[in-house]
Amino acid sequence: ETTSAEPSLDGGSGSECEACDELDFSGVSGSGPITAMMRNIHYKSTQESIAQRLDALGFEGTYDAVYSPGNPARKTNLGYAFVNFLAVEDLRRFHRLCHGR
């Protein structure tokens, strides 16, 4: 399953996410991996820097992949990334942390 959350990897609160008011985890079940799409990340963020920030926020060991497609000509990312969390509860905790809920 894929869901969308907008973390603040640059140290902000991330609480300005209007779309997350409608984010509903009730249909998400199971305990297996789940992929989250993070939008509006800083264009200079790398996969490594995103992973380092996730680890610093206490998520080390809760995900197994970070992917941020890039623009090779500009040496930047495209403003979004995917994180594959190992459990749904890790994504819920990530969402609560980023959005103060």
Helices and strands per DSSP (H, E), number in the chain: 2, 6
Residues 42 and 94: their CA atoms lie apart, in Å, by 18
Buried b (16+ CB within 10 A) or exposed e, 48-58: ebbbebbeeee
Q: What is the pLDDT of residue 30?
A: 67
Q: Virtual CA dihedral for 75, 62, 94, 72, nearest 10 degrees?
A: 10
pLDDT tens digits, 12-58: 444 445 445 455 666 666 678 989 888 899 999 999 999 999 999 99
Q: What is the pLDDT of residue 101?
A: 55
